Chains A and B, each alone.
Chain A
């Protein structure tokens, strides 16, 4: 039982990270119907930004209180990564909007390849390990919970709450939802569609940057290829939860995290990714709209 709860906690931590990335996928897909293949690499870029800020703090100030260091990392990573995603959308996706459906998908794959190789070229191909930033561990009745796990879950919850507030309660969120429903009509009603879509990319990137920084903090290491697998898993999460649905993305992320850690704990760790992908396939085949998505009705 203790073992089970332990795995549950590990799964939730991992799931929070997936959930944060998944929101970026789901928002972009919802608003322009495009699988942003480069989003996983945006996440990786965020992780690297966090890493460099951390090292900068270490070399310039010789260290700082953990809270301050983490806050700096998060904020800088969010800003830099958002700028990247904003520029990418502006340069690579916007000109193709409304054209051939596969064109943006291929561009996104190109951006993904370019981003990961840019980091490889500029930062080197090796693993980038950092010392443990936060190492307190609390043990309650045989179950150990580390401070970083608590931090990850708290940050996720706070961010989700604020993003949910933005999407549901503010004029910006309303513009987003309107653009999602009918882009032309939204434009006719005076919504700046381009700006709304740009902001969506910025928001997705900011969350991915947080996920990247926490990924770095959790595992203590990052490498330029780290965008792909978490990216695909987060996309799986978004689909599992019902693409286009914000709570769905989070639930999907948590589910994927739980499946992964429980599968590794009780079955073979080797096939954990197979399990994730198999579940994705099953869900899509039997309930293509995902857990919380609206079912698509075939119009004749």
Chain B
């Protein structure tokens, strides 16, 4: 760490320290440590079965890690140890939202309703935990209007506003991906975790997604952590890349650094360990 003070908004928002996760005899994640810095887009990449989704599930409380610490540091200075929290508390209190690899929308609910469900906790408070809302108090009506406006904002941002009153299950695939992101954003997160947001998208949809993700960071100040396979997406939008293989971190740095890391190349091309040196040599030659 250099003596030059870093700008305040560039400190770590999420710290994963010595994270391990064991399923029976399988060590899915082994002593993994990395940081997500505030205001950045961090990508978590790695070959299939490297344990990326498991890391996500540990961060968002769906799995309890076997060992290690995951801490979330909010803008206001509050910190949370995510591994100690239930999944819904991670979103509600620590303000970490997520999407899923296989999209999980409320397919029978309309787009608008999907976004309103995401604002459950705020609305719940406004409805006096149902009692005041049931009696028709005005406070709930106001809150409800506000929530609808917020939903409208996100629908516009995700270019879904035309379909606002259609069921979510009726949307094409790419739009479903964007809706899921918009829904996660409606919970008001400081960190948004995206599990393969570009999977299955065509190039045009991919571009739209990149635009949406960039604007989320720029306009809403939300930090992003994403798992991605599509290297063009990763290289284009991420500030920081963490590479996983067999549950261990093999590289960590900015996209250019990672791209040239022989271990990463080896992992992706599938060369044996003893060939790593050759690859490194080739890479260096190529660079010169």
Q: Which residues of A contact B53 (CB under 8 A)?
A: 300
Interface string of B35-74 (1 = CB under 8 A from A): 0000000000000000001000100001100000000000
Complex: chain B residue closest to A299, CB-CB = B102
- Cβ of B100 within 8 Å of any chain A Cβ, yes or no, is yes
Q: How far, in Å, is B23 (CB) from chain A's closest CB?
A: 9
Q: Which residues of A contact B57 (CB under 8 A)?
A: 300
Q: Which residues of A contact B63 (CB under 8 A)?
A: 300
- A window 105-126: CB within 8 A of B: none
State the CA gap A210–B53 with chains docked (Å). Answer: 51
Interface string of B187-199 (1 = CB under 8 A from A): 0000000000000
State the CA gap A300–B64 with chains docked (Å). Answer: 13
Interface string of A265-300 (1 = CB under 8 A from B): 000000000000000000000000000000000101
Q: How far, in Å, is B28 (CB) from chain A's closest CB?
A: 13
Q: How far, in Å, is A297 (CB) from chain B's closest CB?
A: 9
Complex: chain B residue closest to A300, CB-CB = B62
- B window 235-284: CB within 8 A of A: none
Q: Which residues of B contact A298 (CB under 8 A)?
A: 62
State the CA gap A300–B57 with chains docked (Å). Answer: 8
Complex: chain B residue closest to A298, CB-CB = B62
Q: How far, in Å, is A99 (CB) from chain B's closest CB?
A: 15
Q: Which residues of B contact A300 (CB under 8 A)?
A: 53, 57, 62-63, 100
State the CA gap A183–B62 with chains docked (Å). Answer: 29
Q: How far, in Å, is B215 (CB) from chain A's closest CB?
A: 27
State the CA gap A298–B57 with chains docked (Å). Answer: 12
State the CA gap A300–B63 with chains docked (Å). Answer: 9
Q: How far, in Å, is A102 (CB) from chain B's closest CB?
A: 15
Q: How far, in Å, is B140 (CB) from chain A's closest CB?
A: 32
Q: How far, in Å, is B169 (CB) from chain A's closest CB?
A: 15
Q: How far, in Å, is A9 (CB) from chain B's closest CB?
A: 41
Q: How far, in Å, is A289 (CB) from chain B's closest CB?
A: 16
State the CA gap A156–B100 with chains docked (Å). Answer: 49
Q: How far, in Å, is B26 (CB) from chain A's closest CB?
A: 13
Complex: chain B residue closest to A297, CB-CB = B23
- B window 93-129: CB within 8 A of A: 100
State the CA gap A300–B102 with chains docked (Å). Answer: 9
Q: How far, in Å, is A241 (CB) from chain B's closest CB?
A: 23
State the CA gap A300–B193 with chains docked (Å). Answer: 14
State the CA gap A298–B100 with chains docked (Å). Answer: 14
Q: How far, in Å, is B50 (CB) from chain A's closest CB?
A: 17
State the CA gap A300–B53 with chains docked (Å). Answer: 9
Q: How far, in Å, is B253 (CB) from chain A's closest CB?
A: 29
State the CA gap A298–B62 with chains docked (Å). Answer: 9
Complex: chain A residue closest to B56, CB-CB = A300
- B window 131-158: CB within 8 A of A: none
- A window 228-255: CB within 8 A of B: none
State the CA gap A294–B192 with chains docked (Å). Answer: 35
Complex: chain A residue closest to B102, CB-CB = A299
State the CA gap A66–B110 with chains docked (Å). Answer: 68
Complex: chain A residue closest to B101, CB-CB = A300
State the CA gap A286–B57 with chains docked (Å). Answer: 24
Complex: chain A residue closest to B195, CB-CB = A300
State the CA gap A300–B103 with chains docked (Å). Answer: 10
Complex: chain A residue closest to B98, CB-CB = A300
Q: How far, in Å, is B130 (CB) from chain A's closest CB?
A: 27
State the CA gap A298–B87 with chains docked (Å). Answer: 13
Q: How far, in Å, is A101 (CB) from chain B's closest CB?
A: 14
State the CA gap A124–B127 with chains docked (Å). Answer: 58
Q: How far, in Å, is B52 (CB) from chain A's closest CB?
A: 13
Complex: chain A residue closest to B87, CB-CB = A300
Complex: chain A residue closest to B62, CB-CB = A300
Q: How far, in Å, is B3 (CB) from chain A's closest CB?
A: 43
State the CA gap A4–B63 with chains docked (Å). Answer: 47
State the CA gap A292–B62 with chains docked (Å). Answer: 26
Q: How far, in Å, is A100 (CB) from chain B's closest CB?
A: 12
Q: How far, in Å, is B242 (CB) from chain A's closest CB?
A: 20
Complex: chain A residue closest to B23, CB-CB = A297
State the CA gap A206–B57 with chains docked (Å). Answer: 47
Q: Which residues of A contact B62 (CB under 8 A)?
A: 298, 300
Q: Which residues of A contact B100 (CB under 8 A)?
A: 300
State the CA gap A298–B104 with chains docked (Å). Answer: 14
Q: How far, in Å, is A91 (CB) from chain B's closest CB?
A: 30
Q: How far, in Å, is B29 (CB) from chain A's closest CB?
A: 15
Complex: chain A residue closest to B53, CB-CB = A300
A sample of 6 cross-chain residue pairs with beta-carbon separation below 8 angstroms, ordered by A number, consists of: A298-B62, A300-B53, A300-B57, A300-B62, A300-B63, A300-B100
Of all A-B residue pairs in the complex, the 5 with the closest CB atoms, nearest first, are A300-B62, A300-B57, A300-B100, A300-B53, A300-B63
